[in-house]
Amino acid sequence: MPDETDELDEYLRGGSDVSCEYQRQPAPAPPHELDRLVLESAGSLKSKTPFKPQSLAPFALAASLLLSLALMLAMVFGPQVKKPDDKAQVVRVRIFKSEPPRATPASPRERNPALWLQDINALRRAGRSNEADAEMRRFRSAYPDYIIPISE
Amino acid sequence: MELKDDDAGLMLRYRDGDAAAFAALYAHYKDPLYRYLLRHVRNACAAADLFQEVWSHLIATRARYEPRAKFATFLFHIAHNCAIDFFRRDLNLRRVMPVHESESPLLEAEVPEHQRPDRVAEFVEQQSALLAAVAALPQEQREAFLLREETGLNIEEIARITDVPIETAKSRLRYAVRKLKNSLRPMQEPEALRLRTYA
């Protein structure tokens, strides 16, 4: 047993031929690819450090605040103009084959040409010729193709 | 190899965000750690995987680091645990792989490279007599010897890394040294004989 203890003590002191022989052996090192992987994962290779979104957080906050402020100012002080309708405008074109467009009659009575003519005749009989003529011009513009009976 | 106690300080700096401190630690420990793993598991591919696993674990748990021991003790304790897991996986794989099935061409590809007898033999042949003797040591004795040689840590620290009583660590190292000394004798005897002949 004392020999064994001396053997171990000698080894621990560094004087053992085992230790000397071991230290003389070739010393393999990890492949460079491993170095790169480990250092990258530790964040020690700055050029290839993974992108950290949290580093842009202050810029994102500032941009959000600016955008909010701009929107508020636009709502308060901006021109109150109604935006043109974005929808495509449909233009309806009506083609009149027999009758051209005419003025819309003013009253329910004027919508009936016979009654309108009776009113005009009544004005004429009452001596209100100017008014009767004016009404007749309106009648003509409303019913240009209406055939007025001879009696009227 | 001399290990500095202020490596714990570097680790604290890395914990607090100093990536350059990690680079310094890595430069200091990468070679001894790699050799420890390579000569302990006796397979280059497995050693490379474990090497990366050890550093990844250290990086992932850096926020919880407290300097309760030398940094080398901390680092090689991680390495010891990774190696233990490796040997456990290796053993389980061999248990579920009956010998006659391992001869099947289909399953042969699933056997880890380092378990193939030709690869193990090749690994041993490439080494010197001493390294071959180290590879042939029982796992616990081999680890104790490699920890001593690669880190320079004392018996107490080796016991701490390997989670055993100090006497157990001392006993393992003693047996390892004795076997390795014996392995060197065949190399030394011819030299001694030659010298005697000339005399």
Q: pLDDT for A112-147, tens place per residue?
A: 888 888 888 899 889 889 999 998 988 888 888 788
A23–chain B Cβ distance below 8 A for any pair: yes
Q: What is the complex's ipTM, to 2 decimals?
A: 0.77
- Domain hosting residue A145, numbered range: 110-152
In a domain? residue A7: no
- Domain hosting residue B98, numbered range: 7-198
In a domain? residue A144: yes
Q: How many domains does chain A have?
A: 1
How far from A147 is each of A43, A96, A99, A133, A141, CA to CA, in Å?
99, 19, 14, 17, 13
A27–chain B Cβ distance below 8 A for any pair: yes
A42–chain B Cβ distance below 8 A for any pair: yes
A85 or A122, which is more confident?
A122
pLDDT at residue number A22: 93
In a domain? residue A82: no
Query: Is the entire prediction scored with pTM above 0.80?
Result: no
In a domain? residue A80: no
In a domain? residue B1: no
Mean pLDDT by 10 residues, chain B (199 residues): 73 93 95 96 94 96 91 96 93 71 42 50 65 94 97 95 96 95 73 50
In a domain? residue A142: yes
* Subunit contact A28:B34, Cβ cutoff 8 A: yes
Of B59, B130, B154, Cβ closest to residue A25: B130
In terms of DSSP H, where are the helices of B42-165?
Answer: 44-60, 71-96, 99-102, 105-108, 117-126, 129-136, 139-151, 155-162
In a domain? residue B171: yes
Q: Name the DSSP class of A99.
A: -
Q: What chain B residue is nearest to A30 in terms of C-alpha separation?
A: B34
Helix (H) or strand (E) holding B22: helix B19-41
In a domain? residue A34: no
pLDDT at residue number B141: 97
**Would you call A66 exposed, middle or buried from its count of C-beta atoms within 10 A (0-12, 13-18, 19+)?**
exposed
pLDDT at residue number B112: 47
A37–chain B Cβ distance below 8 A for any pair: yes
Backbone angles phi, psi at B66, to 5 degrees: -130, 135
Q: Name the DSSP class of A21.
A: H
In a domain? residue A68: no
In a domain? residue B2: no
In a domain? residue A85: no
In a domain? residue B87: yes
CA dist A67 and A50 (Å) reads 29
Q: How many domains does chain B have?
A: 1
Of B48, B131, B174, Cβ closest to residue A4: B174
